[in-house]
Amino acid sequence: KVDTTTAGTDNDETHAWLERAVRHHPIEHPLVLQLGGNDPESLSRATEYASSVHRRTGGGGAFCGINLNCGCPSVESGGADYGATLMRDGRSTRHLLEAMKMKASSGLHLPVSVKCRIGIVENYGAHSDETTQEFPEASYEPLAEWVHEITKTGAVDGGLVVHARTAVLSGLSPVKNRHVPPLRYDLVERLADDFPGLDICLNGGVAGVQH
């Protein structure tokens, strides 16, 4: 989460930690830096830092994009104020993306993308046996409305990576969040049809290139 890791970027010790954190081998390319947070200023500063790495290397050996995490459930991302919880409010999420986009567009351009789910469930406690048959049915309309809201000002120019499962914010472990909610590839396909100008990548349950 960038709210804390970027708070002291003027501090030599924190700066050295950040340098180590973003260091990677060229064999890992292409590589996108994913950020988690809900504070525009912190995300802006983190994006600015990533952009500075990009500029220092002339684009080589740096990241090829910035991604906002809107897909990890709170039990996995370490708090209830970012990750998949950002799918509660498209307008607030768009403001975060606009702040990131402003810094990502300075100097050498870094595209901004989003990782999300097909929707959210606040609490799974009412389901005792954790079977996909009992899981609440995902609805397309809230997903489409959220995507429209976050993309309408052009802040998302790096596309959307959609994990085709609902995220459970409470009552389901991180591991079970990756397999208990049923896969709904059809919702992602419909999203791609309705947003032809947006690069949409399907994620979740893909076992290999032949899947």
Active site residues: 72
Report the Cα 138 to chain-centroid distance in Å.
19
**Residue matched to tokens 């993306």:** 97
Q: Is 12 exposed, middle or buried (0-12, 13-18, 19+ CB in 10 A)?
A: exposed
**Residue matched to tokens 């998949």:** 84
At 33, is the secondary structure helix, strand, or coil?
Answer: strand
DSSP 169: S
**Are 50 and 22 contacting, i.e. CB atoms less than 8 angstroms apart?**
yes
Q: Which H or E element spans position 120?
A: strand 112-121
